[in-house]
Chains A and B, each alone.
Chain A
């Protein structure tokens, strides 16, 4: 989601710019204090890798493809500070030299795509490492979940920025639902690919995985074999659970956030929108009494519907996909 200029209002652009500059500045200082001048060429090559990784098109379903974002992957391979700096450089160069994302939108683009994915993704990774076993399987599983969730976190960050800096009165629920719903699915691919990529690095050069430095040689070699089909189905199940949990947040937290925004006069009075009468309006299911359960069902159904629509589109266009092997970055619909 390389947002263009003027997508969010001036205040949000300046505020997110200050937050991003502080976070990246801190990461830069940390980077300089921990390692020598060797860090610069290594980070540059890692940046080229992340840039190239965003060209890696992987199949999603029925021949449609997605591509990696790489924020969490960079943080797990290089450490959160270096990872955030590297992805920031990628985002800035994309804006400056490829006109991908607005120059005045760099504040929120860097925040959402570099800072939130790298630090947020790494935070989730560290938490998961505590509960998962101390071996290669544990690291790979933690990577998958953290990378997938980092994409959802990024979408959440964007929705919250929209709440404060919207340039059109689209209700928060709609933006949150659409952004997080779509990105939870993108997160499945991100998680699966990141996990397998880290697995491959662990097998070849375990010392290069920052997030697995505490593992001994024996622990690194200890990995369970599971089939790809099981892996993918597991990923989709995790997605449904995440959607169910996230929809709880969508229902409760925004009230607080909207309140804050309203108190500061930042949001015009919220009004019900055209779909208010729909079966999943306000992300609750009609006819289900228990509020939590109904929200969870609505969230899960949202993901299922998006998945099916995506599959349908995939089947519809599958024969038209071109098999060209160009190095050019194909424009992609999301992020």
Chain B
């Protein structure tokens, strides 16, 4: 492991967004995304407002729009699904470039596309400016059960180690000429996974023994990281507040 091994989504920096207390950032991201999720799909202007706010925050964070765009690839499978919707959905048909598409389906596809893109961009901004241990600190300060965050922190800490073992197993198999093409050639991979589980579990036992030896009493010590100030909460609340105002305006506009 060693130092400096942040996770692949983190971009090192010292911007205002990076320095913000993690609990404020996590809460802001979740409430912003919730506002996007409830915005009615016809309210194009509201999505425009959300996107503009988010773009402003991304520029302020200095992680770079190109980084965000590259990472947006995680939503691609669902984009494929969204593009499929207009063909199979029911309802009125409209002709687009000679294809008969469902009007409702097109709206559905737009809905999935815009919300997935905005939601994933917000998550990428959060992950890009917050290291995982701080993310977990933020989550636990937001009353996520301590057992969950403790398990998550062990998981994150040893993920690189276990993934490294897996990588060495793969290298060893490839070095011995193993290049499987069919499912019935997968036995070494599966037994390797079994061996990896045994190794992970035994490592967990050793880690626990080492923790006991260092005076572990069942709770991790608080490293005394700074908590969010009221001013910080106010800054963090700016984005979600605008998004919620847009969403509520759009909702009432649609309902009346």
Contact = CB atoms under 8 A, between A and B. Distances in A.
A48 B162 contact: yes
B38 to A, nearest CB: 5
A99 B124 contact: yes
A193 B193 contact: yes
A200 B193 contact: yes
A98 B152 CA distance: 13
Contacts of A56: 166, 189, 192-193
A95 B151 contact: no
A131 B182 CA distance: 31
B194 to A, nearest CB: 3
A199 B9 contact: no
Contact of B151 (A40, A231, A271, A332): A40
Interface in A1-56: 2-7, 10, 13, 24-25, 28, 31-32, 37-38, 40-49, 51-53, 55-56
Contacts of B161: 48
Interface in A225-254: 227-229, 231-233, 235
B186 A99 contact: no
B194 A198 contact: yes
B66 to A, nearest CB: 15
B65 to A, nearest CB: 15
Interface in A185-204: 188-189, 192-201, 203-204
Interface string B82-117: 000101111100000000101011011101101110
A53 B196 contact: yes
B182 to A, nearest CB: 6
Contact of A5 (B105, B116, B156): B116
Nearest to A98: B9
Given A99-B123, A328-B8, A196 B154 contact: no
Contact of A52 (B90, B139, B159, B171): B159
A42 B76 contact: no
Contact of B174 (A63, A90, A325): A325
B91 A204 contact: no
B112 A189 contact: no
Interface residues of B, number: 102
A151 interface: no
A216 interface: no
Interface string B65-76: 000000101111
A97 interface: yes
Given A52-B166, A96-B123, A28 B145 contact: yes
Interface string B113-154: 011101110111011000010010001000001011011111
Given A5-B120, A199-B191, A325-B170, A103 B78 contact: no
A232 B90 contact: no
Interface of B: 7-9, 26, 29-30, 33-34, 36-38, 41, 71, 73-78, 80, 85, 87-91, 100, 102, 104-105, 107-109, 111-112, 114-116, 118-120, 122-124, 126-127, 132, 135, 139, 145, 147-148, 150-167, 170-171, 174, 180-187, 189-198, 200-205, 207-208, 211, 216, 218
List of 6 A-B pairs having minimum Cβ-Cβ separation, nearest first: A168-B108, A44-B154, A200-B194, A6-B115, A5-B119, A196-B190
Interface of A: 2-7, 10, 13, 24-25, 28, 31-32, 37-38, 40-49, 51-53, 55-56, 58-63, 68, 77, 85-86, 88-90, 92-93, 95-100, 102-105, 166-171, 174, 188-189, 192-201, 203-205, 208, 227-229, 231-233, 235, 268, 270-275, 318, 323, 325, 327-328, 331-334
